Amino acid sequence: MKEHIEDRLNKLEGLNTIELIVKKLNVKKSTAIKKIHELKKMGYVETSGGGKQPRLYRVSITRMQKIGNPGLYDVINKNSPIKLVKPYEHRVIGKNISIEEAIVLAVKSENFRLILASLALFNKVKTWSKLYELAKKENVRRKTGALYELTREIMRARRMNDKTQKLLLNAKHEKKDIIAGMHSEDFKDIEKKWNVHIPFNYNDLRRYKE
């Protein structure tokens, strides 16, 4: 049994789709699903994607022991309908990443898909003052405010209090680009109000309407 598992791990080590697993193991799809789930239960497999994105299986020849608490990608995937494929395993030691912190970290990243997926988190903000303080610390106040207002255009989201919105809007000495070189053709009113460049068009946000 041990040799059989090791042989399977050697064949599948790395990142796989279920179709690739079928090819590598030379088995039917139903058998491939069963075998990869057996390895997952043993701690050799980590999955990502799903929904509209392809399900990916990362196979390691050593057991994966996760240390610490869920990272940024985990928090966003748990709270957003748009799922992200993790480019690396991000874990946090000694604390949990809050919704507010996840939003600010996503904005700071200047990563198109990461920011897009994080928009759904605005509906789960518990403390607007905390969001403001984190955005202030990372110097992304107007960007955060503009993305919140954009979110309200495409989905239901909790209403931000006027005090926080004013503080975000009045921030000075911040860069205009949320993502360098990307400007919206559809949200000029939000861009003008917040003095930032929105990187998304209506077509980019259609995923939230599906």
Residue 115 CB coordination number (10 Å): 21
Residue range 2-59 forms a domain whose CATH class is: mainly alpha
Angle among Cα 176, 178, 182 to the nearest 5 degrees reads: 95
Helical spans, DSSP H, in the chain: 2-12, 18-25, 29-41, 72-79, 99-109, 112-118, 128-137, 141-154, 162-169, 188-194
Lowest-pLDDT range of 16-20, 52-56, 101-105: 52-56
Lowest-pLDDT range of 68-72, 113-117, 127-131, 181-185: 68-72
pTM exceeds 0.85, yes or no = no
pLDDT in tens, 103-159: 999 999 999 999 999 999 999 999 999 999 999 999 999 999 999 999 998 888 889
Distance CA 187, CA 24 (A): 47
The residue that leads in pLDDT, 135 or 47, is: 135
Pick from 130, 138, 123: nearest CA to 174: 138
The residue assigned the tokens 């610490």 is 68
List the chain domain ranges.
Answer: 2-59, 69-209
